Amino acid sequence: MIEISHLSKQYISPSREEIRALDDVSVHIQKGDIFGIIGMSGAGKSTLLRCIGLLEPPSQGKILIDGADVTSLKGKKLIQLRRSIGIIFQGYNLLMQRTVAGNVAFPMELTGVPKAQREARVRELLELVGLSDRARMYPSQLSGGQKQRVAIARALANHSKVLLCDEPTSALDSLTTQSILGLLRDINERLGVTIVVITHEIGVVRAICNRVAVIDSSRFVEEGPAQQVLEHPQNRVTRMLLGIKEEL
Ligand SMILES: Nc1ncnc2c1ncn2[C@@H]1O[C@H](COP(=O)(O)OP(=O)(O)OP(=O)(O)O)[C@@H](O)[C@H]1O
Ligand SMILES: [Mg+2]
């Protein structure tokens, strides 16, 4: 479904030094996967998610979605495709001046969905994420877990078949984390949505991912079925994320 080959991304710092955020990353995400990308802070995870979400063009390499090369799409076609991908950002990114219902409706306003249809979809999505009774409240009146549920509902508004999640549980306590992960699993199973989840918590991979890639200093160092990687970690960084102490 999403094929990334030899993707690299460089930024130029204000002092004109090159920052390599991604270096020759290749991966194949299959339809129906809950694919985990795990790594330490600054490894390049959010950069990769922005590239997959078509928010930023890669410096080198290719992204294929459903077999079509989307790397060099521009203008209307790019915007259209971008809107078919749901993204949950690190830190929610909700519109603070809009109610919960207004946030969920927003992507449908952008794509010109008629009002009655929009309202019906908002009701359906708020029910899905368990927030029907919070529709008229504002983000500032919600808990972190509830904000994340609004972000999930909004990301699915236009019937996205892919959901990209950047650290969806990093600011939540363990019980709320379990409920958000349960919701993501439910969305994957019931709606058939392919999910890419970025995290630095191995527990997230253990709870919901069927495959995982480990990223370290802008490169993938290990990739495979989640169970295999968790049980037989090959790389030092994977073992560190698993909390396994190395002999010096
Ligand atoms: N727009 C940008 N301009 C310049 N450098 C950037 C930009 N975005 C990211 N970087 C750099 O790229 C590297 C990777 O950043 P990225 O945000 O992808 O890390 P991350 O793995 O998501 O970290 P975290 O777990 O802390 O969110 C960092 O060194 C960062 O400073
Ligand atoms: Mg990040």
Please tell me if the CB atom of residue 15 comes closer than 6 angstroms to any atom of ligand 1.
no
Helices (H) and strands (E) in the chain, counts: 9, 10
- Domain that residue 213 falls in: 30-58+69-84+161-248
Which residue among 160, 195, 216 closes a domain? Answer: 160
Nearest ligand to the CA of 8 is 1
Please tell me if the CB atom of residue 168 comes closer than 6 angstroms to any atom of ligand 1.
no
For residue 43, report the distance from its CA to the centre of ligand 2, in Å: 8
For residue 68, report the distance from its CA to the centre of ligand 2, in Å: 27
Measured over the CA atoms of residue 67, residue 68, residue 72 and residue 74, the dihedral's sign is negative
140-184 tens-digit pLDDT: 999 999 999 999 999 999 999 999 999 999 889 999 999 999 999
- Strand ranges for 60-179 from DSSP E: 60-65, 68-69, 85-88, 162-166
Q: Residue 151's pLDDT is what?
A: 96
Parallel/antiparallel/unpaired status of strands 211-216 and 60-65? unpaired
221: CATH: 3.40.50.300
Domain membership of residue 244 (yes or no) is yes
Which residue among 103, 133, 160 closes a domain? Answer: 160
Q: Is residue 125 within 8 Å of 108, Cβ to Cβ?
A: no
**pLDDT exceeds cutoff 70 at 248:** no
58-71 tens-digit pLDDT: 999 999 988 888 88
Judgement on whether residues 150 and 118 belong to the same structural domain of the protein: yes
Q: Residues for the chain: how many in total? A: 248
The partner residues of 87 in beta bridges, in order of sequence, read: 164
Please state, for a pLDDT cut of 70, what percent of the chain lies above it: 99
Atom number, ligand 1, closest to the C-alpha of residue 12: 4
Distance CA(50)–CA(35), nearest Å, equals: 16
Q: Is 28 exposed, middle or buried, given 0-12, 13-18 or 19+ CB atoms closer than 10 A?
A: middle
Judgement on whether residues 39 and 117 belong to the same structural domain of the protein: no
Judgement on whether residues 173 and 79 belong to the same structural domain of the protein: yes
Judgement on whether residues 184 and 173 belong to the same structural domain of the protein: yes
Judgement on whether residues 121 and 54 belong to the same structural domain of the protein: no
Q: Residue 82's pLDDT is what?
A: 87
The span from the first CA to the last CA of the chain, in angstroms, equals: 42
